[in-house]
Structure 1
């Protein structure tokens, strides 16, 4: 990540008072980044109360480029006070760098024996997920779609990598919901997230109880979220389950904080209402500083 982009991120986090940041297409092979310049080191320079991150990138590249550049990858990060609520984290176990997630600790529900309805007993946690869904098939052998395609073919899986990511996200969502979790998914879908066809990503998420938080609050037409699109097509989205208390949401201007062909998406959520618990004063782990 360039120094200019790092400065832009820090300014964004400060100006917008960001507590949760989800980045897609980070474009770095973090194992090739020099010590002292890795993601955790860069975030440390901003936070004064700690941070908690999950970083995912493509781990099957045999020879790193001198610049450590690599297409794709994701990160999820909790900053300052929100980091105190961190419970666990995970990432794409295939090593393809398709998604990262963090579980934020909520209220522990102890259901009484006489109670037959209401939420299941157990933790009321929030899982925040960052994901990158690759562009459609192309001729570039080094594209994210192609290296994911080659990986899956080596495993005997012929499904399109875009569909495979959607399927794997759906499986995780089902698992988290069965555990009683709420979900917030931010991603570059590389598809019109306002599209309503039965096979669209938006409908796949809706069938699992997630709606796009910004589109739900605003009437169309919607702006393009990437400058490479010639039409007003939002291909990035933030999908949430119904109990995530979204109070506002929208889009930043292009290159508002640093050079990028994507807009930044933002939402405000009432975290205490979503988690059913007041702010944590004694974290369950020691935040990185």
Structure 2
């Protein structure tokens, strides 16, 4: 056996001993805390909501979300699959608890399924966020304003809400919605650092109006919902949008129109020097965005 063979054998034995020690430590940890091991087989659950309720307190996947840096803002996106008409309903209470416990600064929610003007007094989003944003809040909701009010119902498929809370709310500059009034997206613009745009000859024009030479690198956070493919009935999001386009004399597919219109809005924000974060339930992969932005 050569010297190199002896060194290789010793190295392999050392690695084997290391693996055995790690396995021993792992087994000891399991005895002390069984939750550190793999989850055992459990009975199947009927929904994601039921699965989440079945998890132990403070359970999570991925990075430890309980670590929160003071100089950072936490952004979350969620398709809520409809909000209840009551501000004290179980789902709203869960959302409120989630936003508070996770110290969320920016919340982008899609598919709110709510016709906001039809809600009783005291049940709108402003009333709901009073329970969450103790140090301030700023938001905008979006729903289809081109459709008549639902009869004896506060429900309307689609819609979004973008909310900034507490310290982030103090940076809110403006808000807006899908200009078509279809409720496809809502956004909040957060104040950023100002910077000067050089002139075409790369020389700073000191005589130029400051309002024209100064741009603000703001952050635009957008909550977005793209309709599913056509389904049954006239109340689906796709059918609502199709009806609107037909009333305008435009034969547009709502899903394709969504892609074109949102991409145009994002491009306009970029042209103004803004950074953009989009939280979207696209109901499909969207290669158009990937190719447009080089992703």
Query: TM-score higher than 0.5 here?
Result: yes
Look up the match of 1:184.
Answer: 277
Say whether 1:55 aligns with 2:141: yes
The number of residue pairs the alignment matches comes to 200
Deviations, residues 1-49 of structure 1 (Å, cap 9, x unaligned): 3311111111111222110000110011000001111011101121111
Counterpart Cα distance in 2 of 1:54 and 1:102: 7
Counterpart Cα distance in 1 of 2:269 and 2:248: 26
Look up the match of 1:71.
Answer: 157
Which of 177, 180, 185 is equivalent to 1:99? 185
Counterpart Cα distance in 1 of 2:201 and 2:293: 24
Say whether 1:206 aligns with 2:290: yes
Counterpart Cα distance in 2 of 1:141 and 1:208: 33
Tell me, which stretches of 5 or more residues in structure 1 are unaligned? 194-200, 212-289
RMSD: 2.1
Counterpart Cα distance in 1 of 2:159 and 2:200: 47
Which of 121, 137, 141 is equivalent to 2:234? 141
Deviations, residues 227-249 of structure 1 (Å, cap 9, x unaligned): xxxxxxxxxxxxxxxxxxxxxxx
Which of 1, 4, 21 is equivalent to 2:107? 21
Q: Which entry has the higher C-alpha Rg, 1 or 2?
A: 2
Q: Is the 8 A contact 2:228 2:283 kept in 1?
A: yes
* Higher RCO (CA < 8 A, seq sep 6+): 1
Over 3 Å counting, the alpha-carbon distance change for 1:7 and 1:113 in structure 2 is same
Counterpart Cα distance in 1 of 2:108 and 2:253: 25
Which of 249, 253, 259 is equivalent to 1:156? 249
Tell me, which stretches of 5 or more residues in structure 2 are unaligned? 1-82, 204-212
Query: What TM-score, normalized to structure 1?
Result: 0.65
Counterpart Cα distance in 2 of 1:125 and 1:66: 41
Counterpart Cα distance in 2 of 1:115 and 1:123: 21
Say whether 1:170 aligns with 2:254: no
Look up the match of 1:40.
Answer: 126
Counterpart Cα distance in 2 of 1:148 and 1:174: 23
Look up the match of 2:168.
Answer: 82
Q: Is the 8 A contact 1:130 1:186 kept in 2?
A: yes
